[in-house]
Structure formats: C-alpha cells, structure tokens
Amino acid sequence: MRARIAAACEAVSRDVSSVTLIAVTKTYPASDVLTLARLGVLDIGESKDQEARAKLAELAEMAAFAEMTEPAELRWHLVGRLQTNKARSVATYAHAVHSVDRPKLASALADAVESATRSGRRTAGPLQVFVQISLDGDPQRGGVPEDGLAELCDLVAEREQLRLCGVMAVAPIDADADAAFAKLAELSERVRGAHPEAGAISAGMSGDLEAAIRHGSTHVRVGTALLGRRGPTFS
Ligand SMILES: *Cc1c(COP(=O)(O)O)cnc(C)c1O
C-alpha cells in the first residue's frame, strides 16, 4: 500500500510525506489493528463509534498490545456517519472526525470535548475536524451540501475544542472519480480562502486513491486494499 501511494504521488510529483494513510479497520478484528500498529500504521479509521469502542476495549486487554510503546500514539479517525448522541463517547478517544456534516453535530462534538477534557476523560487536546461535503447532493450518503459549507466551516473554526483541518468527501457511486475529486479540490480552495489553516483533504479509498492523490488528497482512507475483502458487516 505504501508503494501504491508512493507511485500515485510520484506520478503527479508530490512528496509522499504529504499523504497520510488511514487504515480503515471497520469489520476487521482488533488483532488487525495490532498488526498495523506493529507495522507503524498508527492512523486507524472506523465507521462506527460502537465498533471503535469495542476494539479499544479489546486492545486494552491484549498483553501484546500493552507491551508496545505505540498504543498511546494510535490515532482514531471516525469516518462514518455519526449521530449526535454518539458525540460524548467519540470525544473520549477520537483524534479526528471526518464526517462532520451539520452544525448540530459540530456543536455536540465541541460540547462533548469540552466536558470530557474538564473531567479528564480526554487528554488529547482539540478534536480534528474534517467537514464532509456531499458531492452529489444525495442527503442519504452524508455530507453538507455546497451551499451550507462556508457556514459549517465557520462554526467549527469558532469552537476552541475543535480544529478545522479541511474537507472530506466520498466519490459518488457511478461518477467519474477524477471529476468528483476535482470538484472537491475546488471547494477545498474556497474553504482555505476563509480558513488558511484548513488545507487538508480527506479523499480516496481502495478503488480511487490515485485519482484522489492527483487532486490533492492529504488523507487517504483505505480498508479492503490493505486488509482484504470485508466479510458480512457488523450492522
Ligand atoms: C469503508 C470506508 C472506507 C474504506 O473503503 P475501502 O473501499 O475498503 O478502502 C473509506 N472511507 C469511508 C467513509 C468508509 O466508510
């Protein structure tokens, strides 16, 4: 996978260090997270709070994991649609949420981080936030529509418990990935106009990471191409 990312970067003269690999371990066992951590892959992506928590608990009980120096350095990224009532839980362990797509969720996360930090359940500092954009306007798949993007980014940037990193999107099914990610790059630039620090782009999965890297992705979220085909899902 590192070689594939390196080749994609080289094809467009980008430095490989400008792309962070997030291993999406949804539906895979906690032991796979351990394996990844041993290989130095410390950015772990999960779709669901419940599954992430279960894996954290399992890892905490694994002696092999406890002996590693890295466990505390694992960074958990939530990449799936998130209900507001999960904010309190997510705030205790997450490094980043890539799927913030509405003001209510942003506020709930900020409040939850504040409260978790005050009570000592969170020591990681501000929560990194990627605002998820809907590229096809389909509300079912998550993402803020283009016309709500600026307002949502402003709201995230205003909260000291959150750090606006940039934007995220999933290429629409049946759409041309290059066109989708070109559009995302354009929206990212618009966001950066108001928030220069929010230059990250979370885009690219197993099937389309080359296209995403061509269009400036800084965070690729890869599951199946790293870990093999997913079995039946938990949900
Ligand atoms: C599952 C998932 C991924 C990883 O997908 P693969 O095709 O397995 O690489 C990336 N991003 C999101 C939002 C996902 O839900």
Strands (E), the chain: 20-24, 43-46, 75-78, 94-100, 127-132, 162-168, 200-202, 219-222
Please indicate whether residue 87 or residue 172 has the higher confidence score (pLDDT): 87
Query: pLDDT tens digit string along 10-56?
Result: 999 999 999 999 999 999 999 999 999 989 999 999 999 999 999 99
Contact 209, 4 (CB under 8 A): yes
pLDDT digits (tens, 9 = 90+) for 181-214: 999 999 999 999 999 999 999 999 999 999 999 9
CA-to-CA distance for 60 and 216, rounded, in angstroms?
36
Separation of alpha carbons 145 and 142, rounded Å: 9
- Average pLDDT taken over every residue of the chain: 94
CB 56 within 8 A of CB 93: yes
- pTM score, two decimals? 0.95
pLDDT at position 94 over 80: yes
Q: Residue 76 to residues 6, 46, 135: CA-CA distances in angstroms?
A: 23, 7, 25
Which band of pLDDT confidence, cut at 50, 70 and 90, is reported for residue 235?
very low
Residue reference for tokens 């606006």: 164
Q: In sequence order, which residues have a C-beta less than 8 Å from that of residue 28 and are 6 or more positions away? A: 223, 227, 230
d(CA 118, ligand 1 centre) in Å: 33
Please list the residues that pair with 201 across neighbouring strands.
167
CA of 144 to the centre of ligand 1 (A): 18
- Residue 24 Cβ inside 6 Å of ligand 1? The answer reads yes
- Does any ligand 1 atom lie closer than 6 A to the CB of residue 169? no
77 lines ligand 1 (CB under 6 A): no
Does the structure show a pLDDT above 50 at 230? yes
| Mean pLDDT in residue range 72-93 | 95
pLDDT at 159 over 60: yes
Helix (H) or strand (E) holding 77: strand 75-78
Among 80-84, 98-102, 119-123, 138-142, the least confident range: 138-142
The pLDDT assigned to 99 comes to 98
Q: Please, are residues 55 and 33 in contact by the beta-carbon 8 Å criterion?
A: yes
Residue 154 has pLDDT above 70, yes or no: yes
Token pair, residue 132, equals: 């998820």
The verdict on the CB of residue 222 being under 6 Å from ligand 1 is: yes
Q: How high is the pLDDT of residue 71?
A: 62
